[in-house]
Chain A
Amino acid sequence: MNAPFKALAKLRPSRREMIVVSAAAAGGALLVGCSPADILSIGADNKHFGPFGPFLRIDADGTVTVVSKHIEFGQGSHASLAAMVAEELDADWDKLKVAQAGANAKVYANLDQGAQGTGGSSAIHNSWDQLRKVGAATRAMFVTAAADRWKVHANEISVANGVVAHPSGQSATFADLVANAAKVKPPGSPKLKDPKAYTLIGTNRVRRKDSLAKATGTARFTQDVHLPNMLTAMVAHSPRFGGKVKSFDADAAKKIPGVVDVFKIPSGVAVTAQNTFAARQGRDALKVEWDDDKAETRGSDAILAAYHDLASGKTAATDKLKWQPFDSHGVGVAPGAGKVVEVAYDFPFLAHAPMEPMNCVAEIGGGKNKLTSGSQIPTLDQLNTGMIVGALPGSVEIETLFAGGSFGRRANFQSDYAAECVHIAKHVGGGRPVKLVWTREDDMTGGYYRPMVHHAVRVTLGADGYPAHWRHRIVSQSVMKGSPMPSKGVDESAVEGVSGSPYLKATPVVDAQAILPDSPIPVLWWRSVGATHTAFVMEHTIDQLARAAGKDPIDYRRALYTKAGADRHLVALSLALEKAGLNPAPGYTRGVAAHESFGSVVVQIAEVKLDGGVPKVGRVVTAIDCGTAISPDQVAAQMEGGTCFGLSAALFGQITLKDGVVDQKNFDAYRVLRMNEAPHVETYIVPSGAHPSGVGEPGTPVIAPAVANAILAITGKPTTSLPFVKA
C-alpha cells in the first residue's frame, strides 16, 4: 500500500538534474556515495538548531515549541506530532506550541520517504519513533540538570506537566532548569515510556492547536501573504493540456489600471499587477492564440472508449503499450467451477478542488531564492526551483504555511504552480515578491486529476460459491510515469487495493493485469490514490459474488478473510457490526464495505435510502484499525472528513472533456457535497498498541462501495460507473 509515496524513498534526481546540482555544488565534480537527501540538502543552513535539536525549542521562559517537519493542511498531524514529544517530555500540553519547520531534505526527511514531504498518510507513522525519542532525550537532559543541582539520584526524579520534582520536596519548572539542561549531553538512546504509562497519547486531551486561529480568521495561508512591494500574478493557460502559446496580444490587458506587465512563461502568459482584481481583469483582457499541435484534443468519452477497446482486446497491446501482470497465481480453473460473474466499471477524472486554489509566493534574485507556500513536498519544490534559477536545491528557502487543503494536489513532481511562480518571479527579478494566484477556474481546469480508470472483472465461482478464478484488467494512466522515481514493473498506484486484496489471496487462480496508456492530461494521486477505485471494484464485486452464491455478504467476507488470514479485517468488521446494532433507521438500507490502505483497515456500514433515484446517506458506522491512535478525536475527524470527501466524489464528482477542453470550471458544474447531503459518521477505533498507521486517507475510499452495496440490496442492480448522480 501507499506505494507512490513510499517510492519517494527511491527518489533519484535524473541525470540532467544531477548534473545541474553537482555542477553548482562542486564545480562539476560528481557527487558519489551520497544519499538523495544528502544531495538535495546541499546548500542548506544546518547551524540554527538549538540545544534540543531541530524538532524542539524550549525558551528561557519555559515555553515548549515542537517543530513540525510536516505541513498541516487539515489532518491534525501538528497536534499528534506534538503529542509524541510532549508525552515523553512530560511537558505541559496545554501551554505547548507547534511551529512549522523550514525546508531541509536531510534534517526534516520523511523517514518513510527519504526526503521532506507529507503524503501517503505517513506523517505520524514515520515520526513515531523519531519524535518520542526527541521528547525522551530532552526529558533526560532536564532530569540530569535537576539531579546535578539538587545533588540527588536521577532515578528519584519525576517530571509532570513541565515541572521536575524530587520526593524531598524540591521542584523546578522547565524555565528554572532550561539553561542547565541545554548544557547536558543528550543521551544516545533514551528510554521510551511503557505505553501503559501514557497520560496524553490515546486520550481526548490531544486536541488541535490551530482551532482558535482558524475560528478567528487569523491562521495564515498563502493567499493571505502580503509583502511590501509585492506583485500579484495570474497566468493564462492553454485550454487544452499540452497546448503552447503561439502568439498573444497584451494591449487591452496593459490598459487595465493596476496591471504592471504581461509576458510569456513556459506554462502560458503571465500578467503581473498591483492587486488580485487587476490581475484578474488583465488576464481576462488578454488575447492568446494557442498551438494545439501536441495537445490532447480528445474528449473524455473518446478516451474512455479507447480504454474499453484495450480491455476487450479490440485494440491490441503493443511493444510500447503492454499488459503488465501484477498478480498471477495458480493455474487453470478450480474443479467444479460454476457460475461466472462478469462486471466492468468506469471511473471519471476527478479534481482535488481543495478550498484554497493553488497559489505561491516567490522572491527570486538579489541574493534571494525563497518560496512562501503550502508546500507539500518541500524537497521537490526546492529541486524544481533550484533547476529554474540555477541554485543549489538546499539553498532554496521555503516558508511553509497552512494550506487550505490539498488531498494530493500540492504534491507533484513538477511542482507545477510553484515552478510557474518561480518563473514569473525570476522574470520580475531583484527578489521582488510575486504572489501567483490561481482562480477556482484555473485550479479546476488545471489538470493533475485522479486518472480516469476502467476495470473489467470476471470471476468464476467454485462449487462452494467462493471465487475459484479471478480475472482482472485495469486500464488507467500512470501517476508515476515520468516521475523522478519511476516504478519498476507496473505502477503500483494504479493497482494497489486489487493487488494485496485478501479476496485475491483467498482465490486459487488469479490473473490480474494492467495497461497504462499515456495522455497529455496530467494525472496525480488523489486522497487514497489507487484505493479511490480499487476499493469500489473489490468491495462492490464481493457483494455481487455473494448474491450469485446465495450467501450473506458479511458471512461471505468473513469466510474469505479467514481463508486469507486477514485478521485485522475480521476484528474491524466485528467491531463495526457490534456498534451498528441490529437495525438501520426506518426507511434506510445498509451496505457494508471494508478496505485496507496506508496500513489501516477501515470498515463502514452505511445506511442509505433512495430519494428520487438519488442516494441519501444517513448514519455511517466506521471501525478503524490504525494501530496506536494518538488522538482519537482527530482520527474521528479524519473519518468524518474522509467519508465526506469520498461520498462527494461518489455522488457527484466528475471532470469531463469535450475536444480536450475541460467542461467543469467551478463549483456550479463540479458539484461537491454540502451540509444538507452530509452523513453522520460514528467512529470506533480498534484498540491496538501497534505502530501507528495512516488516517488521513483510509477514511475516503470505503463509503462509495458501501453505498453501492446498499443500492444493490435495494434495487438488485449493481453500480458500474461513478458518480451515482450524473450531471
Chain B
Amino acid sequence: MAATLDINGKPVTVQAAPETPLLWVLRDELGLTGTKYGCGIAQCGACTVHANGTAIRSCQAPIGSLAGVKITTIEGLEGRHPVQAAWVKLDVPQCGYCQSGQIMSATALLAKTPKPSDGDIDAAMSGNICRCGAYQRIRAAIKDAAGVVAA
C-alpha cells in the first residue's frame, strides 16, 4: 500500500500499510534513524517528532492518520537549531540514545513558550526518559537556548 507523507518539508511516498507506526516508516523505509525506538507504547519519548509543530510520539502514530500533516524529525532541524547548539555547549548527551527525542520535545516547547519556567520544562519534558539521567543538563540547555538565566 502506498502512502504519501510530508517529512521535513518534502513529500515522500512509502509502501506501507496504514496501521504502520510512523516510527518504523521513518527508520526502516526512509533511513531517518535519528528518531529512536525506546518503548513502543508512548512512555519514553525517544521517538518524538513534530506533527504540525507539536511534539508527538511516532511509535503510536499510524501513518494512515498523518495525511496532510507536516512531520519534522531531528534530521529536519539540520543541526541549526539553537537548542542543538546549547546541547553541544553544555555536553548534555551521555549515551545519547534519548537525545533526539529530548531535543524534539525541547524545540516544540520553545516554539510555543519561548521563555519557559521550571514548571513549563517539567510539563513538556517529563514524557522523555533519559536513563543516563542527563536531566539537569537538559534543563540547563533549554534555559541556555531560551536565554533565561538558570535558577
Binding site for B on A (CB under 8 A): 73-76, 207-208, 210-221, 223-224, 226, 232, 257, 275-277, 353-357, 402-405, 407, 439-440, 633-634, 637, 640-645, 648, 666-668, 672-676, 678-681
Contact = CB atoms under 8 A, between A and B. Distances in A.
B129 A215 contact: no
Contacts of A678: 133, 135-136, 139
A633 B91 contact: yes
B93 A208 contact: yes
B61 to A, nearest CB: 13
A674 B126 contact: yes
B92 A215 contact: yes
A128 B92 CA distance: 25
A680 B122 CA distance: 14
B67 interface: no
B37 A223 contact: yes
B79 A355 contact: no
Contact of A355 (B17, B20, B46): B46
Pairs A-B, 7 closest by C-beta atoms:
A217-B34, A644-B133, A404-B97, A214-B96, A74-B94, A678-B135, A74-B95
Given A224-B33, A404-B97, A645-B131, 10 more contacts: A74-B96, A215-B79, A216-B34, A353-B131, A405-B94, A633-B91, A645-B133, A675-B121, A675-B128, A681-B136
Nearest to A668: B43
Nearest to B80: A216
Nearest to A72: B95
A356 B36 contact: yes
A407 B132 CA distance: 9
B135 A74 contact: no
A369 B100 CA distance: 32
A75 B125 CA distance: 23
B44 interface: yes
B33 A356 contact: no
B93 A221 contact: no
Interface in B96-151: 96-100, 103, 121-123, 125-139
B40 A215 contact: no
8 contacts: A215-B87, A217-B75, A217-B100, A354-B97, A405-B132, A640-B133, A666-B40, A680-B136
B74 interface: yes
Contact of A215 (B24, B35, B103, B135): B103
Contacts of B46: 355
A447 to B, nearest CB: 18
A212 B98 contact: no
Contacts of B73: 217
B28 A641 contact: no
B31 interface: yes
Contacts of A637: 91, 94, 134, 137
Interface residues of B, number: 58
Nearest to B35: A217
Nearest to B79: A216
A673 B33 contact: no
A211 B41 contact: no
Contact of B84 (A73, A215, A407): A215
Contacts of B39: 440, 666-667
Interface of B: 16-17, 20-21, 24, 27-29, 31, 33-41, 43-44, 46, 73-75, 77, 79, 84, 87-88, 91-100, 103, 121-123, 125-139
Contacts of A224: 27, 33
Contacts of B121: 675
B133 A648 contact: yes
A76 B126 contact: no
B74 A217 contact: yes
A355 B129 contact: yes
B136 A211 contact: no
Q: Which of A357, A404, A673 has the most CB of B within 10 A?
A: A404
B96 A277 contact: no
Contacts of B131: 353-355, 405, 407, 645, 648, 672
Given A216-B79, A675-B128, A643 B87 contact: no
Nearest to B89: A211
A633 B90 CA distance: 9
A353 B98 CA distance: 13
A353 B43 CA distance: 13
B41 A668 contact: yes
A11 B75 CA distance: 44
Given A74-B132, A675-B126, A675-B135, A216 B74 contact: yes
A645 B134 CA distance: 10
B102 to A, nearest CB: 9
Nearest to A221: B97
A611 B137 CA distance: 25
B93 A215 contact: yes
Contacts of A223: 33, 36-37
Given A216-B74, A673-B133, A356 B126 contact: no
Nearest to A218: B34
A640 B137 contact: yes
Contacts of A211: 87-88, 91-93
A277 B129 contact: no
Contact of A402 (B33, B95, B133): B95
B91 A208 contact: yes
B40 A76 contact: no
A74 B137 CA distance: 14
A213 B91 contact: no
B8 to A, nearest CB: 12
Contact of B133 (A277, A440, A641): A641
Contacts of B88: 211-212, 215
A223 to B, nearest CB: 6
A402 B122 CA distance: 28
Given A275-B29, A440-B38, A215 B133 contact: no
Nearest to B43: A667
A604 B33 CA distance: 39
Contact of B44 (A210, A277, A667): A667
Contacts of B17: 257
Nearest to A404: B97
A257 B44 CA distance: 28
Nearest to B134: A641
A44 B38 CA distance: 35
Nearest to A640: B136
A9 B150 CA distance: 46
B138 A675 contact: yes
A676 B126 contact: yes
B136 to A, nearest CB: 5
Contacts of A218: 34
Contacts of A672: 129, 131
Contacts of B24: 275-277
B104 to A, nearest CB: 9
A666 B87 CA distance: 28
B3 to A, nearest CB: 14
